[in-house]
Amino acid sequence: MRTKQVECIVFRKKEKFEFLLLKRVPEKGSFWQPPCGGVEQNDKSLLDACYREIEEETSISKDKVIKVIEEVYQFTMHNDYLTGKESTPLTEYVFGFEVKPDVKVKLDANICVEHEQFQWVPFDKAIEMLKWNDNKEAFKALYKILTKR
């Protein structure tokens, strides 16, 4: 049973910071979120799991990352995200990834069909679009670091 997960807040700097959100397919909740997923046995570290998840879900490779902000936030979920039923506690570790401004996103390379759309959005819009409070708090923590507020 998985007990660790990573959340990868991917952002770029144009005139302002823009954050990448992915919309899950209907059978997986139909909500907006950053790239995220479980830490697998062959991941050497949480950061390796992040790079793998980002590439799987968006086709953004490690060489397109300009800067990594490690362990921005952390939280533990006690309920299944789809059913709401109690489940094995799952700790999610949040990292920030600045990517090159002209980076291309592709959702169709993922062998698991998880997402149907993506959008680059400003911080305020990301907070509105995110469903889960823990994701919102993670974004706020990263934005505070980015803007030194």
pLDDT tens string 39-79:
999 999 999 999 999 999 999 999 999 999 998 999 998 87
Inter-residue contact 103 to 12 (CB < 8 Å): yes
Q: How many CB atoms lie within 10 A of CB 85?
A: 7
pLDDT at 113 exceeding the cut of 90: no
Q: In the chain, what are the helix, strand and coil shares in percent, each to the nearest 5?
A: 30, 40, 30
Domains of the chain (ranges; CATH) run: 4-147 (3.90.79.10)
Report the sign of the C-alpha dihedral through residues 62, 112, 140, 2, in that order: negative
Q: Find the mean pLDDT for residues 109-116.
A: 81
Whether the predicted model's global pTM rises above the 0.85 cut: yes
Q: Find the mean pLDDT for residues 13-29.
A: 94
CA angle at residue 135 from 94 to 39, to 5 degrees?
40
Instruction: Supply the pLDDT for residue 84.
Output: 73
Task: Compare 142 and 82 and report the one with higher pLDDT.
Answer: 142
Averaged pLDDT of the chain = 92
For 39, counting Cβ atoms within 10 Å of its Cβ (0-12 exposed, 13-18 middle, 19+ buried), the class is: buried
Inter-residue contact 114 to 25 (CB < 8 Å): yes
